Amino acid sequence: SQQGEEDPQALSIQEGENATMNCSYKTSINNLQWYRQNSGRGLVHLILIRSNEREKHSGRLRVTLDTSKKSSSLLITASRAADTASYFCATGPSNYQLIWGAGTKLIIKP
């Protein structure tokens, strides 16, 4: 089964609203990474949070990590049309053993 599982599978919100998506995993991790994929394109790295970190920010993005619950969340504030994409979490002891979730498809409505 998938190590990283995103929830929800799909999310549709109005432009300007905040979007929250979650990722759960099963085994111990070294870090957890979030990526964005625009339709038909390559993946773009958003944030890497290490297992000893609890929260990390990058611009309008905030990622939290709760290792006791084996879960992470990605918050996008003040969403824009350009945020429409699929978002993936990837976890594992190293990049050589990353397991990827199936992604959350985010649609920002104008």
Structure tokens at 73: 């969340």
Could you list the residues that contact other proteins (CB under 8 A)? 2, 4, 30-31, 33, 35, 40-45, 48, 88, 90, 94-103
* Least distance between other proteins and beta carbon 110 (Å): 27
Sign of the torsion formed by the C-alpha atoms of 59, 60, 65 and 70: negative
User: What's the start-to-end Cα distance of the chain, in Å?
Assistant: 36
Question: Up-side HSE of residue 88: CA atoms within 13 Å toward CB?
Answer: 18
Cβ closest to other proteins, residue 78 vs residue 102 = 102
Please state whether the peptide bond connecting residue 110 to the residue before it is cis, i.e. omega within 30 degrees of 0: no
* Least distance between other proteins and beta carbon 94 (Å): 4
Cβ closest to other proteins, residue 45 vs residue 109 = 45
* Least distance between other proteins and beta carbon 37 (Å): 9
Cβ closest to other proteins, residue 32 vs residue 76 = 32
